[in-house]
Amino acid sequence: MISVLLVDDHELIRTGVRGILDNAPDIEVAAEASTGEEAIDLVQTTAIDVVLMDVNMPGMGGIEATRRVLRVNPDLKVIALTVLDDDPFPSKLHEVGAMGFLTKGCPAEEMLRAIYAVYEGHHYIASDVARKHTLTEWQGNANSPFKQLSSRETQVLLQILEGQKNQEISDILSLSPKTVSTYRQRIYDKLAIKNDVELTRLAYRHGILTDNSSK
């Protein structure tokens, strides 16, 4: 059972998200918080696996709250929830350790996919967020060849860099293995590389991967 902490200053949003998660047999909402300060207290006293963290909250806010809950429990998996797909804050949450990025208008199925993915240690970017926040924007490298990738290619790229095979990527992103294979080849073609080894080297060269990268 995956235990989730909902962090959002709007009760209506929390109620809506809880309604989605209550329908998943292997996910439970263990606690709710309306502020970052409450979230920090809760992760110290409650068994939590995944935190759904609102980006824009009064007081401490989602960025600092993410930093601090991960300081309390580095094993937590944080998914940032933004209102708009062009919200400037997801990149900052990535820097402090968030593993997932969703907009509050994403389909229920995608929210569940994201929770399952980060729980297993994978990064997950919603397609609408990826469209606005590519890996190169997160890393501040405007001249990187990775900026030419589409949002879906960016999603697949993240999984490849984590060592996932086509079937595993298929399961995480709800794509057929054949479609994943097609995206993988498109990535190779766009980046002028031939295999995952060359992709990894390129990712290190342009700062997408670092020696202390997340899992």
| DSSP 8-state code for residue 74 | T
Residues 116-160 pLDDT 10s:
999 999 888 876 666 555 555 545 555 778 878 887 888 888 889
All residue ranges of the chain with pLDDT < 70 are: 84-91, 127-142, 207-215
- Our measurement of the distance from residue 7's CA atom to the centroid of its chain's CA atoms, rounded to an integer in Å, reads 16
Nearest by Cα to 184 from 203, 205, 170, 202? 170
Cβ contacts of 100 within 8 Å, gap of 6 or more: 77, 78, 79, 80, 114, 115, 117, 118, 123, 124, 125
Q: Where are the domains of the chain?
A: 1-133, 143-215
Do 80 and 98 meet the contact criterion of CB atoms below 8 Å apart? yes
Q: Fold for domain 1-133?
A: Rossmann fold (3.40.50)
Q: What is the second-level CATH architecture of the domain 143-215?
A: Orthogonal Bundle (1.10)
| DSSP 8-state code for residue 48 | -
Cβ contacts of 34 within 8 Å, gap of 6 or more: 7, 8, 9, 11, 14, 57
Residue 215 has what pLDDT? 40
Amino acid at 106: C
Residue 147 has what pLDDT? 77
| DSSP-assigned beta bridge partners for residue 124 | 100
Residue 146 has what pLDDT? 83
Q: Dump the DSSP string for 103-171.
A: ETTS-HHHHHHHHHHHHTT--EE-HHHHHHS-HHHHHT-TT-GGGGS-HHHHHHHHHHHTT--HHHHHH
How many Å apart are CA 202 and CA 21, to the nearest integer?
A: 38
Residue 214 has what pLDDT? 43
Neighbouring C-alpha atoms within 13 Å toward the C-beta of 46: 22
Q: Do domains 1-133 and 143-215 have the same CATH topology?
A: no
Residue 179 has what pLDDT? 95
Nearest by Cα to 52 from 16, 94, 84, 5? 5
CB atoms within 10 A of CB 30: 17
